[in-house]
Chains A and B, each alone.
Chain A
Amino acid sequence: MVHWSAEEKQLINSIWGKVNVEECGAEALARLLIVYPWTQRFFSNFGNLSSPTAIIGNPKVRAHGKKVLTSFGEAVKNLDNIKGTYSKLSELHCEKLHVDPENFRLLGDILVIVLASHFGRDFTPACQFAWQKLVGVVAHALARRYH
């Protein structure tokens, strides 16, 4: 089980409380597809991903980004049992979606950058530590049931 200090929990929750899940989710997924274009391989049915503008404006990207970040919220709500929270999703990503877990790490790093851009100075080094830790734990949990 991952240990979270009271300070880490506070830093995570105080940021999460101010996050617009739809906007941040859409932005994080769009940036993933733009910055690491090979990740587009999972989204061949999303329509037009031919340019950054197309990706940012793509309604399927927005919707899926919102879905992904909403799910991330489950981790924030269940910091003491992230493994359990993502057990089924881990199986899904392995057995049905066939997603290389490295992609979870890439998305996590992008999310941290998106949060930094939204929160500026409030995204302190201590905050970044807590969030890098969280995205790492989420990535690990999502990879855990792979076989």
Chain B
Amino acid sequence: MVLSGADKNNVKGVFAKIGGQAEEYGAETLERMFAAYPQTKTYFPHFDLGKGSAQVKGHGKKVAAALVEAANHIDDIAGALSKLSDLHAQKLRVDPVNFKLLGQCFLVVVASHNPALLTPEVHASLDKFLCAVGTVLTAKYR
């Protein structure tokens, strides 16, 4: 899966539009993921996952920051997320299937907040981007 020039522009456009709300989007993405896919909660036994949890908000901020970083270095996502990739391989070991679930929830957040932004073309590009991020984060697993 290769990101075309148009894909890259679409993705950059999304994150430019989202701007400072990225943190909020990150938190809501996690909230939705825990609600829609309860099995994802197994990775956070040490968190308070109740509504409005400060830990979820904080973690959502980190997740969003990583996506923003990847978008800002979209020509070299592997390079930009190399340390995160190491972390996921060596310490976190989140099963690869879960990155798709997170991606789905991020798309739902964008769609529900900003339907006009998520045209079919942008949807396609963003989906590809999220797949690419997941691939990078699981690339060193074995």
Contacts and interface: CB of A to CB of B under 8 A. Distances in A.
Contacts of A119: 112
Given A35-B120, A35-B127, A52-B120, A113 B108 contact: yes
Given A116-B111, A125-B36, A128-B108, A30 B120 contact: yes
Interface string A84-108: 0000000000000000000000000
A125 B112 contact: no
Given A125-B32, A128-B32, A129-B35, A113 B124 contact: no
B113 interface: yes
Interface string B16-37: 0000000000000001101111
Q: Determine the interface band of chain B, counting residues with CB < 8 A from chain A.
A: 20 to 34
Given A35-B120, A113-B107, A132 B112 contact: no
A114 B112 CA distance: 9
Contacts of A114: 111
A117 B109 CA distance: 9
A117 B104 contact: no
Main secondary structure of the interface of B (DSSP, over half): helix
Interface in A1-43: 30-31, 34-35
**Interface magnitude class on chain A:** 20 to 34
B113 A52 contact: no
A121 interface: yes
A125 B35 contact: yes
A142 to B, nearest CB: 19
Contacts of A120: 112-113, 115
B104 A116 contact: no
A116 B108 contact: yes
Contact of B120 (A34, A116, A132): A34
Q: Secondary structure of the A side of the interface?
A: helix
A143 interface: no
B64 interface: no
Contacts of A126: 35
Contacts of A129: 35-36
Interface of A: 30-31, 34-35, 52, 55-56, 109, 112-114, 116-121, 123, 125-126, 128-129, 132
Interface of B: 31-32, 34-37, 104-105, 107-109, 111-113, 115, 118-121, 123-124, 127
27 contacts: A31-B123, A34-B123, A34-B124, A35-B120, A35-B123, A35-B124, A35-B127, A52-B121, A55-B120, A56-B120, A109-B104, A113-B107, A113-B108, A113-B111, A114-B111, A116-B108, A116-B109, A116-B112, A117-B112, A117-B118, A118-B115, A119-B112, A120-B112, A125-B35, A126-B35, A128-B32, A132-B37
